[in-house]
Amino acid sequence: MNYGYTPFWNFQAPAGDVLQRITTPWFSPSLTVNYAGNPAIEERVVTQVASYGKQLGWLTEIVLALADGEDINEETKRKLRSACEQIQKIKRDMRQSAYLEASDALDRLQKEHPHSYRELMERRRAV
């Protein structure tokens, strides 16, 4: 039933799939990072392991302790080692994922477009 004008037209619930990432500035400040490496790996590292600030803080603390001839804080070393292990796991997972995705794509291409598959394989062998 349509009742005409509603003052809450902006707040009506959307229809369909509404799963989305909300990144509006009023929830948190927006940050644009130009990753030097693989953006997918970098995003997982900063969201699942530690922010750049935390990582830099640990490294700074260790370097300053070394420069001053002091003992390195064991908790800081533990955090840095743990982060390093987690980052290596993310990299391994991403490599494995890329391999599986490429393999699946090649299988699909071979099945659905055998001529294109043969062309691609010949071109790759030539490189």
What is the tens place of the pLDDT at every residue in 12-63?
Answer: 555 555 555 555 555 555 555 555 678 888 899 999 999 999 999 999 999 9
Give a yes or no: residue 26 inside a domain.
no
Give a yes or no: residue 116 inside a domain.
yes
Supply the pLDDT for residue 54.
95
Q: Give the amino acid at 75.
A: E
Average pLDDT over residues 67-84: 96
Give a yes or no: residue 30 inside a domain.
no
Q: Give the amino acid at 12.
A: Q
Q: Cβ(65)–Cβ(72) under 8 Å?
A: yes
The rounded distance, in Å, linking the Cα atoms of 102 and 23 is 31
Supply the pLDDT for residue 97.
87
Number of structural domains the chain divides into: 1
Give a yes or no: residue 99 inside a domain.
yes
Give the domain extent around 109.
36-126
Give a yes or no: residue 20 inside a domain.
no
Q: pLDDT (tens digit, 9 = 90+) per residue, 92-105?
A: 988 888 888 899 99
Give a yes or no: residue 58 inside a domain.
yes
Pick from 91, 75, 83: which is nearest to 49 by CA?
83
Give a yes or no: residue 13 inside a domain.
no
